[in-house]
């Protein structure tokens, strides 16, 4: 699980720089070549009226600054958000059966550069990448073999997987965390939670204790830039801090690094060796690098550490062994009730940049759920100016309203942070109306474009969870789902992304194509095609607001039985503050 490597010279391991890492920069050169071919395919299929997409792409493919880069951001919101996000990814994936047919959006995933996940959305991203970026369809359609044991949510984390005796499952949870402690690392409830989560998302037999997030960098398809770059998001919490401020430092995990471009840290460390004894960004000559701390379950658990509270139900299970209950209770006693939502990481930024780094004097880096600052869609890393993202699909599975549907809160939070100038390294975020306007104008029931009138920064394609073919507003902290419910929510997420495969709005794929090209039209001074102008009139927020308090939001199902043609996926038949956040999140 952990291993060491002797370092024979002083190595600078923490880098304070506004630029991308050398690994990401080299990877992007190859990824741009791969996405260019994928863009050609989807834009031709989407049929943007009088635009000759082949000729247009020929004119920009040789220009790195003109080529559109796409980002996809999957929100938090527990299993509901995970499954909703999985549906969107399936819709964008040309490996999904029928996804390249008329009205569908298959191929966008292959043209995407960045794929970010937060909390429940991080489970979607992390699980797919640990399976060599397999398709959503491959997992939910599998009847036998390894993949058939994943995403079995009828076996909750309290019960454990069907293939293990419960006593064996509990013993393995205990032993894996104990091994980490024996290796000299601190533990938190997130360690147990991350291990339990891994049995559903990584490996049902043992939870994949040796599988690290940094090992994704060694996957052949990712290393050759045939897949998007995954990013998982968490938030830094200063020692003793209870309330998460809107200007908190946002930490990202990618296959090469963990860290933040925010001024409060402005540093990254190599994720593979994050467990090493860094001091002011270096290791002493003759020191050992320690690998294995970035277990993929721990990374996903960190991004979703709010669910530590749900995991604690395991202590109430009738057959929970005393040794596990005692270990959990001892951990709670050590960290304190108010810290049950934290994840303790070795601090690779110890003594580094003490002027701005609030955690420079502690050897433990405290991280919490990526949505605790209300930015429940992981847009932040995709706004970095150096990443040059043109368009972001913001897949929102949040439960903002009393009836557990999105109302734009995540976008509002990101917009407010942008206005405050907290992250000067990022592009400006487009103007976003308040939540009441989202509900009153129906912006939370259908896709909406934000930033259409801007010339810089990404255009946002907002895809809120809505009841297209099922009432997909399950409670955030539901821990069990039947395969039928799982598949229905995934199918609904597919239909949200495709607008019912074009049955709700026939030219939806063409409008998606227009949104993808919008910023490149500006850069290349290309006249906007008339069909795109029509699309922007239909889907762009026009600046109108209606902030009267709406009634209870109870949307009707958009596609009733027998209406439209929706092809199914193959195989789819202060703790007080924490509590207040949970009420918002549920």
Cα-flanking dihedrals φ and ψ of residue 110, to 5°?
-70, -20
Task: State the pLDDT at residue 571.
Answer: 45
In this structure, of 246-250, 434-438, 444-448, 567-571, the range with the lowest mean pLDDT score is: 567-571
Task: Return the percentage of the chain with pLDDT > 70, whole number.
Answer: 88
**What's the token pair of residue 237?**
């919490």
Tell me the residue length of the chain. Answer: 586
Task: State the pLDDT at residue 562.
Answer: 39
Q: How far apart are CA 407 and CA 401, in angstroms?
A: 7
Q: How far apart are CA 224 and CA 581, in angstroms?
A: 41
pLDDT digits (tens, 9 = 90+) for 379-431: 999 999 999 999 999 999 999 999 999 999 999 999 999 988 888 888 889 99
Using the predicted structure, report yes or no on whether residue 463 has a pLDDT greater than 90. yes
Using the predicted structure, report yes or no on whether residue 178 has a pLDDT greater than 60. yes
Write out 265-281 in H/E/C secondary structure.
CCEEEEHHHCCCCCECC
Using the predicted structure, report yes or no on whether residue 2 has a pLDDT greater than 70. no
Residues near 562 by Cβ (< 8 Å), separated by ≥ 6?
A: none
Task: State the pLDDT at residue 518.
Answer: 96
Using the predicted structure, report yes or no on whether residue 568 has a pLDDT greater than 80. no
Cα 405–Cα 370–Cα 264 angle in degrees, nearest 5: 140
Q: How far apart are CA 302 and CA 233, in angstroms?
A: 9
Instruction: Quickly count: other Cβ atoms within 10 Å of residue 497's Cβ.
Output: 29
Task: State the pLDDT at residue 3.
Answer: 54
Using the predicted structure, report yes or no on whether residue 468 has a pLDDT greater than 80. yes
Q: How confident is the model at residue 586 (pLDDT cuts 50, 70, 90)?
A: very low
Task: State the pLDDT at residue 43.
Answer: 95
Task: State the pLDDT at residue 6.
Answer: 52
User: Is the CB of residue 331 less than 8 Å from the CB of residue 188?
Assistant: yes
Cα 384–Cα 385–Cα 391 angle in degrees, nearest 5: 80
CA dihedral 577, 582, 583, 586 (to 10 degrees): 170
Using the predicted structure, report yes or no on whether residue 499 has a pLDDT greater than 90. yes
Using the predicted structure, report yes or no on whether residue 583 has a pLDDT greater than 50. no
Q: How confident is the model at residue 577 (pLDDT cuts 50, 70, 90)?
A: very low
pTM of the complete model: 0.93
Q: How far apart are CA 377 and CA 116, in angstroms?
A: 9
Q: What is the largest CA-CA distance in the chain?
A: 70
pLDDT digits (tens, 9 = 90+) for 27-65: 999 999 999 999 999 999 999 988 999 999 998 887 767
Cα-flanking dihedrals φ and ψ of residue 115, to 5°?
-130, 110
Q: How far apart are CA 501 and CA 560, in angstroms?
A: 14
Task: State the pLDDT at residue 243.
Answer: 64
Using the predicted structure, report yes or no on whether residue 454 has a pLDDT greater than 60. yes
The predicted model gives 509-537 an average pLDDT of 96
- Which residues on neighbouring strands pair with residue 346, listed in sequence order? 364
Q: How far apart are CA 171 and CA 155, in angstroms?
A: 17
Q: How far apart are CA 62 and CA 212, in angstroms?
A: 36
Task: Return the percentage of the chain with pLDDT > 90, whole number.
Answer: 69
User: Is the CB of residue 549 less than 8 Å from the CB of residue 436?
Assistant: yes
Residues near 415 by Cβ (< 8 Å), separated by ≥ 6?
A: 429, 430, 431, 432
**What's the token pair of residue 120?**
């429940």
Task: State the pLDDT at residue 316.
Answer: 66
Using the predicted structure, report yes or no on whether residue 268 has a pLDDT greater than 70. yes
Task: State the pLDDT at residue 309.
Answer: 65
User: Is the CB of residue 305 less than 8 Å from the CB of residue 342?
Assistant: yes
List the domains of the chain with CATH numbers: 3-585 (3.40.1090.10)
210 DSSP assignment: T
- Which residues on neighbouring strands pair with residue 289, listed in sequence order? 5
Cα-flanking dihedrals φ and ψ of residue 182, to 5°?
-60, -25
Concatenate the DSSP letters of all residues of 517-539 into one string: HHHHHHHTTPPPPHHHHHHHHHH
The predicted model gives 277-294 an average pLDDT of 85
Using the predicted structure, report yes or no on whether residue 572 has a pLDDT greater than 50. no
The predicted model gives 537-544 an average pLDDT of 97
pLDDT digits (tens, 9 = 90+) for 333-366: 665 555 667 899 999 999 998 988 888 999 999 9
pLDDT digits (tens, 9 = 90+) for 88-143: 999 999 999 999 999 999 999 999 999 999 999 999 999 999 999 999 999 999 99
What average pLDDT is seen over the chain? Answer: 88
User: Is the CB of residue 139 less than 8 Å from the CB of residue 84?
Assistant: no
User: Is the CB of residue 368 less than 8 Å from the CB of residue 47?
Assistant: no
In this structure, of 185-199, 237-251, 489-503, the range with the lowest mean pLDDT score is: 237-251
């Amino acid at each position: 699980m952990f291993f060491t490597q002797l370092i024979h010279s002083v190595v600078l391991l923490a880098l304070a720089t506004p630029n991308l890492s050398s690994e990401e920069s080299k990877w992007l050169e190859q990824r741009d070549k791969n996405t260019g071919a994928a863009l050609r395919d989807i834009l031709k299929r989407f049929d943007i009226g009088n635009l000759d997409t082949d000729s247009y792409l020929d004119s920009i493919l040789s220009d790195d600054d003109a080529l559109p880069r796409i980002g996809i951001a999957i929100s938090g919101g527990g299993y509901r958000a995970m499954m909703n996000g999985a549906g969107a990814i399936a819709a964008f994936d040309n490996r999904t059966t029928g996804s390249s047919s008329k009205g569908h959006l298959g191929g966008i995933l292959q043209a995407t550069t960045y794929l970010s996940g937060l909390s429940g959305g991080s489970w979607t991203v992390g699980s797919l990448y640990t399976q060599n970026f397999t398709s959503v369809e491959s997992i939910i359609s599998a009847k036998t073999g390894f993949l058939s044991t994943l995403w079995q949510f009828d076996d909750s984390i309290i019960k454990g997987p069907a293939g293990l005796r419960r006593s064996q499952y509990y013993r393995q949870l205990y032993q894996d965390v104990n091994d980490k402690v024996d290796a000299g690392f601190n533990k938190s409830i997130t360690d147990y939670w991350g291990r339990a989560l891994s049995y559903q998302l990584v490996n049902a037999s043992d939870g994949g204790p040796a599988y690290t997030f940094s090992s994704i960098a060694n996957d052949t398809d990712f290393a050759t830039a045939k897949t998007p770059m995954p990013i998982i998001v968490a938030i830094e919490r200063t020692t003793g801090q209870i309330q998460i401020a809107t200007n908190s430092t946002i930490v990202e995990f990618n296959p090469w690094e963990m860290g933040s471009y925010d001024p409060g840290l402005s540093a990254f460390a190599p994720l593979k060796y994050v467990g090493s004894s860094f001091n002011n960004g270096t290791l002493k000559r003759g020191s050992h690098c320690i690998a294995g701390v970035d277990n993929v379950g721990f990374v996903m658990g960190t991004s979703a550490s709010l669910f530590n509270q749900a995991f604690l139900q395991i202590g109430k299970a009738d057959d929970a062994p005393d040794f596990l209950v005692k270990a959990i209770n001892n951990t709670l006693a050590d960290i304190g009730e108010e810290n049950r939502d934290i994840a303790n990481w070795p601090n690779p930024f110890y003594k580094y940049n003490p002027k701005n780094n609030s955690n420079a004097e502690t050897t433990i880096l405290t991280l919490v759920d990526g949505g605790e600052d209300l930015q429940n869609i992981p847009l932040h890393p995709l706004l970095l100016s150096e990443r040059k993202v043109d368009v972001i699909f913001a897949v929102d599975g949040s439960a903002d309203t009393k009836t557990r549907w999105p109302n734009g809160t995540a976008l509002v939070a990101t917009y407010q942070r942008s206005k405050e100038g907290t992250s000067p390294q990022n592009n400006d975020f487009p103007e976003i109306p308040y939540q009441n306007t989202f509900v009153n104008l129906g912006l939370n029931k259908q896709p909406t474009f934000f930033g259409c009138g801007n010339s810089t920064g990404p255009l946002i394609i907002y895809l809120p969870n809505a009841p297209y073919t099922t009432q997909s507003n399950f409670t955030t902290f539901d821990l069990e789902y039947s395969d039928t419910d799982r598949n229905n929510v995934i199918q609904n997420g597919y239909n949200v992304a495709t607008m019912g495969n074009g049955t709700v709005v026939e030219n939806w794929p063409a409008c998606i194509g227009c949104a993808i090209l919008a910023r490149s039209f500006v850069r290349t001074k290309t006249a906007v095609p008339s069909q795109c102008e029509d699309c922007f009139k239909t889907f762009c927020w026009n600046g109108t607001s209606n902030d009267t308090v709406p009634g209870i939001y109870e949307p009707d199902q958009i596609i009733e039985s027998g209406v439209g043609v929706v092809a199914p996926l193959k195989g789819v038949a202060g703790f007080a503050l924490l509590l207040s956040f949970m009420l918002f999140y549920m």
